[in-house]
Copies of this chain bind each other. A is one copy, B any other.
Amino acid sequence: MKIKSIDHIAIATQDPDGFRHFFETLLGIAFAGSEVVEREGVTTHFYPVQGTSLEVLEPLNAESGVARFIEKRGPGLHHIALSVEGLDAMVFKLRQTGIQFTTDSPVPGAHGKRIIFIHPKSTGGVLIELSEQSANA
């Protein structure tokens, strides 16, 4: 049970093409593809960087949590995701200390991972995702 790496840093935007221009054309960070994650209400656009990844989140509709985030705070940094070894044990342990999650248990995320979000109330203001590769992915 440990944090292995920073899986990704997520950015919320209604303008994924603007970020693609900025990351790929101006900074030279290659675009590596997109994936729709229906459950989170987003299309995720991937920009891998040296063992971690910048992920641009584009809301699928106005009800998406990411759309509401943009409406409330404007586009920008949305969350950080930590890659965990032993996700279920870590969630159990954190819950025992009073840490609150936004769902009861991990749910399917992009790239065949199981993910769960810690509520920003429990982290001092940062939305943190914990993720682990599914055994059957």
Interface residues, chain A, CB within 8 Å of chain B? 1-6, 9, 11, 13, 15, 18-19, 22, 26-29, 49-52, 54, 73-80, 82, 90, 93-94, 97, 99, 120, 122-126
Contacts and interface: CB of A to CB of B under 8 A. Distances in A.
19 contacts: A2-B28, A3-B28, A5-B49, A6-B50, A6-B52, A9-B80, A13-B124, A13-B125, A19-B123, A19-B124, A22-B123, A26-B94, A27-B90, A50-B51, A51-B51, A52-B52, A75-B125, A76-B77, A77-B78
B82 A22 contact: no
Contacts of A94: 26
Given A11-B124, A19-B124, A77-B77, 20 more contacts: A1-B28, A3-B49, A6-B9, A6-B52, A18-B124, A22-B122, A26-B99, A27-B90, A49-B82, A50-B51, A51-B51, A51-B52, A73-B73, A75-B124, A75-B126, A76-B77, A76-B126, A77-B78, A77-B79, A77-B80
A32 to B, nearest CB: 14
Contact of A82 (B3, B19, B27, B125): B27
Interface centre among A5, A22, A126 (most CB of B within 10 A): A126
Contacts of A11: 124-126
